[in-house]
Amino acid sequence: MTARFLPRAAPRQVANFLPRGAPNFAFRAGTRAASSISQRPGSSHVSFPGAVKSAFTSDLKFALSADSPALPTYRVVDQDGNVVDQSFKPDLSDEEVVKLYKTMLTISIMDIIMFDAQRQGRLSFYMVSAGEEAISVGSASVLDKGDVVFCQYREQGVFAQRGFTLNDFMNQLFANKKDPGKGRNMPVHYGSRDLNIHTISSPLATQIPHAAGAAYGLKMQRMNDPSLPPRVVVVYFGEGAASEGDFHAALNIAATRSCPVVFICRNNGYAISTPTLEQYRGDGIASRGIGYGIDTVRVDGNDIWAVREVTKRAREMALEDGGRPILIEAMSYRVSHHSTSDDSFAYRARVEVEDWKRRDNPIARLRKYMEARGLWDESKEKEARESIRRDVLKAFSEAEREKKPPIRAMFEDVYEELTPDLKAQMGELRDHLEKYPEEYDLSEFEGGISSLRQ
C-alpha cells in the first residue's frame, strides 16, 4: 500500500537498522560487507536475512495448501458428554460446574427474552450468542480478574462470567441513566472498568491490535514494577473479522513485540450471510497463526472443558519467557440469526440450524456431562430455567422503568473537558429546546432541560 521508496530504500539506513549490541559486522561506512551474512561455502541452509532457517533444496516444489492436513480440533468431552481425553482431570468442584452451567443458561435465556423484546419494539437492537456460550463462559472462567479483555460483540458470556449482573446487561440494553455508556452506544456494546473489559465498538477487528498494544503495556508496567501480578490480554473476534487488515496487523505486531496476548477466534461458520467458503480458502484461522510465528491451537468450541483447558494453557504460555501471543480458534456454529436485523433463513436452510441445535450445542453437552455424574436432572433444569427467567424479567422491567441519562451527556466525554465550542453548542441546543418545547419530549431524560444549563 505504501511506496516510501525515497527514504526507505537507502541502504545506509539498513546498516543503522541493526539492533544495538548486535555485532554490526554487516556494514561499514555504507558499504555492504556481504561476506559474513551471506552463504558460507558448502552450507546447507540459506543465510538470507528474511528466512535464516531455510534449507536449500534442488527440488522445485511448491508447498501445496491442499497437501497440509487440517489442524485437529481438541476436545475433552464428546457430544454425549463422555470424557474422551483420558488425561483430563476436572479442576472444578461440583458446585462450580453447576455454576458455569447456570451462567451459560442465563445468557441463553436472556438472549431469547431480549430477542423477543426487540421484536416487540421495546429495544432498538439485540444480538444473541446462542451456540457460543461455552467459548465465552469457558475461556473467561480460567482468566485472572486482572486480565484485560477486548470483545467483538457476541461474548455476553465473558461479561456474565466475570461478574456483569443482569441489571448491568439491562441498563446498557435500555440505555438508561445507569448505563455507563450514558446511552451513547447501541445495545450489546457493553463495557466494564471494574471487570477489566473494554467497551465494545462496532467496527470489526479494530480491537485486535488494541489487545496487542494493551498486552505490551501490561508487560512494560510489570517490567517497571515487578511486584505487579502477571497479566495477559485476551481478545475475542469472529472468523469474519479475521479477514480485516487489523487482524493481520495485530498478530504480526504481537509476535514481533512478544506481547502476552491470547487471541480467541470464534469460528461459527458465518459472518452475517457469508459462509466461511467465501471468507477464506485456507485451513480456517488457526493455520494462519503459524505463519505469524504464533503458537496456535484449534478447539471444539461446544466443549466447555476443552475451551477451559486450552485457554488455561494459553494463558500460561503467553506469560512464559517474557511474554508471547497465542492463537486459539474455537469452532462452533452460529445457531441464531446474526442479529435482530437479520433473518438467517434467507441464506441457510432451517433444517441445518435445527440440526445443530439438536445434535450438538454447548449447553446440552455440559448438561449431559453433569447428568452422567448425577449433578443435574430434569427437575433441576426446570427449576433453574424458571428462576433465571424470573430474574431476567425482573432486571428487564427495572431497567425499562429507569430514566434516560441527562441530555448533557451527549456533549460530555468527547474531550477530557468541554471545549468552548461544545459549551456554546450546548447553550444553543438549550435555547432551541426552550423555544420549541412542544417539538421534543424531554420527560424521560434525567433532569430534563436543566442538565443543559452550565
Partner 1 sequence: MKQSISLRRLQKTLASGSTGRCAGRVLGARSPRSYSTHPPNARLNIPVDYSTTPLLAHTSQTALSSAELPPEVRNSTTKRMNLFQAINDALSIALTEDENVLVFGEDVAFGGVFRCTMKLAENFGGGRVFNTPLTEQGIMGFGIGLAAEGMRPVAEIQFADYVYPAFDQLVNEAAKFRYRDGSCGRSVGGLTVRMPCGGVGHGALYHSQSPESLFTHIPGLRVIMPRSPLQAKGLLLSAIRSNDPCIFMEPKILYRAAVEQVPLGPYTLPLSKAEVLKQGKDVTIISYGQPLYICSSAIQKAEQDLGISIELIDLRTVYPWDKETVFKSVQKTGRCMVVHEAMVNAGIGAEVAAAIQEHPETFIRLEAPVARVAGWSIPTPLLYEKFNFPDVARIYDNVKKLLDY
Q: Does 165 bind partner 1 (CB under 8 A)?
A: no
Using an 8 Å Cβ cutoff, are 117 and 126 in contact? yes
- Region of 9-17, 82-90, 328-336, 433-441 interacting with partner 1 (CB under 8 A): 9-17
| Cross-strand bridge partners of residue 288 | none
Q: CA 147 from chain center: how many Å? A: 13
**Residue spans of alpha helices (H) in 62-155:** 94-119, 133-140
**334: Cβ contacts below 8 Å, ≥ 6 apart:** 130, 131, 132, 268, 269, 270, 344
Nearest distance from C-beta of residue 5 to partner 1, angstroms? 8
Q: Binding residue for partner 1 (CB under 8 A) from 80, 354, 413, 428?
A: 413
CA distances from 167 to 128, 289, 341, 395 (A): 17, 38, 24, 5
Nearest to 243 by CA among 188, 292, 288, 211: 288
CB of 323 to partner 1, least distance (A): 11
Q: What is the pattern of x (binds partner 1, CB under 8 A) and - over residues 255-294?
A: -xx-------------------------------------
Q: Which is nearer to partner 1, 96 or 421 (CB)?
A: 421
CA distance 298 to 345: 28
Identity of the residue, 265 or 310, whose beta carbon is nearer to partner 1 in the bound complex? 265
371 burial via Cβ count (<10 Å: 0-12, 13-18, 19+): middle
Amino acid identity of 19? P
Would you say 206 or 243 has its CB closer to partner 1? 206
Determine, following the binding rule CB under 8 A, whether residue 420 of this chain makes contact with partner 1: yes
Distance CA 251, CA 295 (A): 11
Q: Does residue 215 touch partner 1 according to CB under 8 A?
A: yes
Q: Nearer Cβ to partner 1, position 138 or 187? A: 187
What are the two backbone dihedrals, phi and then psi, of residue 321, each rounded to the nearest 5 degrees? Answer: 50, 40
Among 96, 354, 421, 428, binds partner 1 (CB under 8 A): 421
- Residue 397 within binding range of partner 1, rule CB under 8 A: no
Give the side-chain half-sphere CA count within 13 A for 109: 22
Q: Any contact of residue 22 with partner 1 (CB under 8 A)?
A: no
**Is residue 221 near partner 1 by the rule CB under 8 A?**
yes
Least distance (Å) between residue 200 CB and partner 1:
8
Residue span binding partner 1 (CB under 8 A) among the ranges 1-9, 88-96, 341-349, 391-399: 1-9
Helices 304-319 and 133-140 meet at what angle, rounded to 10? 40
Among 34, 84, 220, 228, binds partner 1 (CB under 8 A): 220
Stretch of 6-14, 52-60, 75-83, 124-132 contacting partner 1, by CB under 8 A: 6-14
* x/- track of binding to partner 1 for residues 24-63 (CB under 8 A): ------x---------------------------------
* Bridge partners for 74 per DSSP: 299
Of 101-109, 221-229, 298-306, 362-370, the segment contacting partner 1 by CB under 8 A is 221-229
The three three-digit cell numbers of residue 25, written as one number = 559486522
Q: Which residues pair with 327 in a beta bridge?
A: 263, 296
Q: Contact between 7 and partner 1 (CB under 8 A)? A: yes
Q: Could you say which residues in the range 94-153 bind partner 1, by CB under 8 A?
A: 148, 150
309 binds partner 1 (CB under 8 A): no
Nearest-angstrom CA–CA distance, 396 and 238:
28
Q: Which stretch binds partner 1 (CB under 8 A): 125-133, 191-199, 358-366, 442-450?
A: 191-199
Residue with cell 433463513: 345
Q: Should residue 415 be labelled a site residue for partner 1 when binding is judged by CB under 8 A?
A: yes
Distance CA 449, CA 431 (A): 10
Q: Which of 138, 209, 260, 301 binds partner 1 (CB under 8 A)?
A: 209
The CA distance from 421 to 302, in Å, is: 52
- What does the chain come to in residues? 454
Distances (CA, A) of 345 to 125, 131, 275, 340: 19, 17, 13, 13
Report the interface residues with partner 1, using CB under 8 A: 1-4, 6-13, 16-17, 19-20, 30, 148, 150, 179-182, 184-185, 189, 191-193, 198-199, 201, 203, 206, 208-218, 220-221, 223-224, 233, 245-246, 248-250, 252-253, 256-257, 409, 413-416, 419-421
